[in-house]
Structure 1
Amino acid sequence: FTAVNIRKHRPNPRRIVIVGAGTAAHAFLETHSGESNDDTITVLSREPDPFYNRILLPDFIHGNKSFEELRYATDSFARVNVLSGVSAQSIDRANRIVRTDAGEIAYDVLVLATGSRPRRHRLMEPDAKRSVFTLRNRIDAENIKSQAGNNVLIIGGGLLGIELADALLQSGSSVTIVHRSARLMSRQLDATAADMLCSGLLRRGMQIMLNDEVIGLFKRDDIFTAYLASGRRLDCSSVVYALGTQPDIELARSAGLRTNFGVVVDEYMQTSDPNVYAIGEAMEFNRNTYGTALAAADHAKVLAGVLAGDPTVRYGGSIDLNILKVGGLPCVSMGRIPPGKEDEVILLNDEAQGLYKKFLINRDRLVG
């Protein structure tokens, strides 16, 4: 045998343009900055405030954290130009140009980190002036913080809806959650865990209506009236849609990239165009999309390795990890939730202590 030295291929300096300035883009910049390279990077941030932790927006609404405490550190980023308040309008793939509302930007590598958009209710469009909100960015949070009023209806009982409800409750508002499923966080918790969570939230003073949905929503003067499928009627001062999110793929779709539910990528985070990549909530891999910070970090690490010339990096999917931040009710779920046919289930349930742990084991490996 002959000894062989293997080293990474170092590509020539490139112009990298990133569309989006959220968690995935920040994670990529952190990882990419650790590589020895001479790339120049331009970040397009539709928002005037780039690089902050959206997960903590409920804490900002409650006042537990200032907005400055939500910002990600960017001091270590070299050769990065962040264009705040600049929105990408279209992509000219043939000429490798991104057209923005502030002009054209040429690229060698384009990274789509466009994130996701809140799902909307069919009854009434979000409008801060009418006290109908979604929560996705700083402006949304500031509007809710200043205008929600003392009696808030939250439509949706997922992770965001519960954390927002708790933040408003601690701020002095009366809060009602209407959730169409039979249990809260139905995608992240089993029935036992969801029941324990619901009981804990009721003890904190929330009103929760499960197996129900809003079918009519009207406003007169400053009061909303919500009509539910069950026949019940609720009056409230404001409405917040917490119905989940969907990948923001409009830019990719209009550019002719392959899209499904998200922007379709391969194991190298590459789209149907070899010069365009997608990471974070906007991407789709093997028919799966990912909405967690942990997954965004996985995507960023793979893409940084690919662009650095590392032949060993591949993406194979991410583990779902969900952490509910409600005081006195610690709740974490990860991996598989319903057990598979061959999974071994280990349970620890201590109702007196309010403790419930469930482990799914498959072939001596923890899978959920």
Structure 2
Amino acid sequence: MQKLVVIGAGMASGRALEHLFDTQPGEWDVTLFNAEPRGNYNRIMLSPVLSGEKSYAEIVTHDEDWYAAQGVHCRFGEKVVAIDRAAKTVTGENGTVAYDKLLIATGSNPFIIPLPGHQLPGVVAYRDLEDTNVMIEASAIPGAHAVVIGGGLLGLEAAAGLRLRGMEVTVLHIATHLMERQLDAAAGFLLQKDLERRGINCILQANTKQITGDGKVEAVELADGTVLPASLVVMAVGIRPNVQLAKEAGLAVGKAIHVDDQMVTSDADILAVGECVEHQGAIFGLVAPLYDQAKVVAATLRGEEATFVQKQLSTKLKVTGCDLFSAGDFAEGPNREDIVFRDPARGVYKRLVIEGEKLVGAVFYGDTADSNWFFGQIRDGADISANRDTLIFGPAFQGGAPVDPMAAVAALPPEAEICGCNGVCKGAIVDAIKGGAVDLGAVRATTKASASCGTCTGLVEQVLASTLGGAFERNAPQPMCKCTDLTHEDVRRLIKSQELKSMPAVWQAGAWKTPDGCHSCRPALNFYLLADWPLEYTDDLQSRFINERKHANIQKDGTFSVMPRMWGGITTPDELRAIADAADKFKVPTVKVTGGQRIDLLGVKGEDLPAIWADLNAAGMVSGHAYSKGLRTVKTCVGTDHCRFGTQDSTGLGIALEKALWGSWTPHKVKLAVSGCPRNCAEATCKDVGVICVDSGYQIGVAGAAGMDVKETERLADVKTEEEVLDYTMAFIQLYRENAKYLDRPYKWVAKVGLDWVKEQVLDAGIRAQLVERFQISQSVYQKDPWAEHVKERAEQYVPVADLTKFAAE
């Protein structure tokens, strides 16, 4: 068995090992060194970890089980100190290993500007998980300020993530517009304005003089004398290939480690891959060429012929919340023309650069859906003369008239690139689908398409839909998550049939593949156990989404929404005074009347949540649970109290329903409405539960929708009394709680089980009484305001922003 030593457990070497093990399993004795105390993870996705949208566990590409299955000797957290080419050994901090072949994948080091004060605690780069964790910890400090030096992609991702965590953020950039290497001035301007709307201050043509502080970072001073407060300084000004080991070993090194077309260095037994290599004068920072290199490395190690060819690259980028794309050469020139599309209202900018009859460059901001098609036109040198008039509108409008986007995807040739990161073309995806990969997860596992940055996910799904047709929608139920082969429905049956009352019990009984579940299954399991065993199971706060753990809706700028409950849409002068006083006291920038007949205080700082709720609680108001998977609102009209058309007391019934149902946890949010007559002023016919008051009593409808889907309610029952409305509604909600898949709204659940089955349960007096009883038992445990008791103690437990990494915001 040949001995392979790999230095660096990054994305490039990880992909090379995948290719090697796929074709030659068991033929290599691999030792893997990594200076970080962990294996391979997707560094592209560190930004969502920073912003709290993902956890570290979600971006791991090779876990301990994978390395163990491949027999890799992992020496994580151990730096390599020397390579002895004559003896063919690698020496780490804990000993020496011999090799037959050596793969160097040392990546790059961040460049730190040697400013006065750059060594102060609180100055970090942004390259790895350790940097990310330092930034997360710094963001948890109330009133913390961050200064990000560098307005490129990495710096802006850092700024966006820190802002979402509630920090005051200023970006310093030395150029005249942001991301000048990827964007032209117009797109850079739009990006700057978008970031400033998100609360990120951008200073251009900024020359940093020094970083100051007494034992830690306290401020950043610019050359013009401006002083910016800073408890964290992020250096994101570029990277340099990490070539020190290669130099010391006597390998040929220029800007990086010289490699030939087979990724072999100046030593025939040493290969190199990734950001540390130089090929034909070029060095590489994007993942797509690194993955191409990885394929060649594996082929070379197998003794096969393979050649690394540099390709023209596009840059499809995603600064948190902003879509950007650039490809080709978009510089101005005497023989070039521009086609520009601007839609300021939507924040969309598109610029095409044409030379002769060919598209040579493109810059998009705000709408990048057709970027792969445009890149193909640039890469292939296509003649665009016949389509010049409609070119800016993308593939759906070629030929002079709009066509179905699905038809446009279907018309793409097999060689059209779908996933730029992994170099996956449409033909490879279609082949995988025909080979049995009939859902996104299977396509991703088979081809790697959409497995890196994820921006091509929608396009991959379109290829699935165009290839499978109607079968794409009729696929068999999918497993709950990657941890199990069981569906949500299987898990619910398992919990009930075996009386499982804890997550470990479910994991054991369900043969979970992971020891502690994941971000997808834990929230669902937490709800299922809570719904089925309210007296025995203890709610696991850490298995809830961010909003539910914070008891507030996080906004895109990192602030929060505070919405007190207004029973049935009714309020009082005292409540309004309390809301107004709170808005003044805490400098709330926006006070909005919602569609659910409540008042929303938008823009509240995270550190102010306990105090503002203390004031609102003192006025007798409780949380409106606008953040929860539970009852949101009961909308009402004024009914017989004031309206000459009213047939019943719709307001009183709405208040009674809300007071009975509030605080209940459900698979998804639930909204109700009560209209005092068939004129339906409260819009009851498009709610999860809607009640129409008529002369003879009440018409109860269920399973309506008025969001992305619009659907009228279906009649559940006609009843005569308010008490019956309450009983039927509680029974329906409990039936939904006990049987629906987590994150299915009632209308989706009813469509699956059928309204006839729902009626059989709810209209049966005995079953209905049992459902109501179980609902009320659950309410006795969980109907409580999260801010009403021990506000400060609870805030200390829940508010730290560092906790936000575990589960994504909705």
Deviation, structure 1 residue 320: 3.7
Question: What residue number does 1:54 align with?
Answer: 43
Correspondence list, 1:4-23, <5 A:
13-23=1-11
1:198 aligns with 2:192: yes
DSSP 3-state at the match of 1:281: coil
Quickly say closer, same or farther: Cα 1:280–1:319, change in 2 above 3 A.
Answer: farther
Structure 2 residue 366 is matched with structure 1 residue 366: no
Question: What is the match of residue 110 of structure 2?
Answer: 118
Identify the range of structure 1 (207-216 vs 339-348) with the bigger mean alpha-carbon deviation.
339-348
Alignment of 1:1-368 (within 5 A): 13-36=1-24, 38-74=27-63, 75=66, 78-124=70-116, 130-148=121-139, 149=141, 150-220=144-214, 224-311=218-305, 313-338=306-331, 346-360=339-353, 364=358, 365-367=377-379
Q: Secondary structure at the match of 1:330?
A: strand
Amino acid at match of 1:281: E
Cα gap change, 1:222/1:122 in structure 2, threshold over 3 Å: closer, same or farther? Answer: closer
- Name the aligned partner's letter for residue 349 of structure 1: R
State the AA in 2 paired with 1:41: V
DSSP-derived class of the 1:60 partner:
helix
TM-score for the superposition, normalised by structure 1: 0.89
2:170/2:203 contact within 8 Å kept: yes
Point out the structure with max Rg over C-alpha.
Answer: 2
**Paired residue type of 2:78:** V
2:235 & 2:294 partners in 1: Cα distance? 30
Q: Considering fraction of residues, name the structure with more helix.
A: 2
The offset of 1:274, in angstroms, is 0.9
Could you tell me how far 1:44 is from its partner in structure 2? 0.6
Of Structure 1 and Structure 2, which has the larger fraction of its residues in strand? 1
Further displaced range: 223-232 or 72-81: 72-81
Q: Matched residues in 2 for 1:184 and 1:277: separation?
A: 36
Gaps of 5+ in 1: 1-12
Relative to structure 1, the CA distance from residue 224 to residue 318 in structure 2 (aligned partners, 3 Å threshold; closer, same or farther) is farther
**Cα distance change, pair 124–40 in 1 and its aligned pair in 2 (3 A):** farther
Alignment partners' CA distance in 1, 2:229 and 2:61? 39
C-alpha displacement at 1:138, in angstroms? 1.5
Q: Against the structure 1 CA distance between its residues 203 and 91, is the aligned structure 2 distance closer, same or farther, given a 3 Å change threshold?
A: same
Q: Distance in 1 between matches of 2:114 and 2:250?
A: 28
Q: How far apart are residue 335 of structure 1 and its match?
A: 4.2
1:181/1:298 Cα in 2 relative to 1: closer, same or farther (>3 Å)? same
Aligned mates of 1:62, 1:176 — CA distance in 2? 16
Report if aligned partners of 1:126, 1:134 keep a CA contact under 8 Å in 2.
no
Cα drift, residue 126 of structure 1: 5.5
**1:76-111 deviations in Å (ceiling 9; x for gaps):** 862322211121111101111111111111111111
Q: Matches of 1:340 and 1:315 in 2, distance apart?
A: 32
Q: Confirm or deny: 8 A CA contact 2:317 2:324 kept in the other structure.
A: yes
CA offsets per residue over residues 182-202 of structure 1, 9 Å max, x none?
A: 111111111121111111111
* Identity of matched residues, %: 33
> For residues 158 and 205 of structure 1, what CA distance do their matches in structure 2 show?
18
Please state whether the residue corresponding to 1:274 is helix, strand or coil. Answer: coil
Q: How many residues align?
A: 354
TM-score normalised over the length of structure 2 = 0.42
SS of residue in 2 equivalent to 1:353: coil
1:10 counterpart residue number: none
Kept after mapping to 2: 8 A contact 1:298/1:318: no
Distance 2:10 2:353 in 1: 33
SS of 2:113's equivalent in the other structure is coil
Contact 1:360–1:366 (8 Å) recurs in 2: no
Q: Per-residue CA shift, 1:224-248, capped at 9, x if unaligned?
A: 2322123322122221111111110
Contact 2:261 2:307 in 1 (8 A): yes
CA distance in 2, matches of 1:39, 1:329: 44
**Superposition deviation, residue 317 in structure 1:** 1.4
Which blocks of at least 5 consecutive residues in structure 2 are unaligned? 359-376, 382-810
Displacement of 1:295 after TM fit?
A: 1.7
Q: CA offsets per residue over residues 194-214 of structure 1, 9 Å max, x none?
A: 111111111111110111121
Taking structure 1 as reference, are residues 67 and 197 closer, same or farther at Cα in structure 2, changes over 3 Å only?
same
Secondary structure, in 3 states, of the residue corresponding to 2:13? helix
Q: Give the Cα–Cα distance (whole angstroms) in 1 for the partners of residues 264 and 328 of structure 2.
A: 25
Q: CA deviation at 1:318?
A: 4.0
Root-mean-square deviation (CA, aligned residues, Å) is 2.3
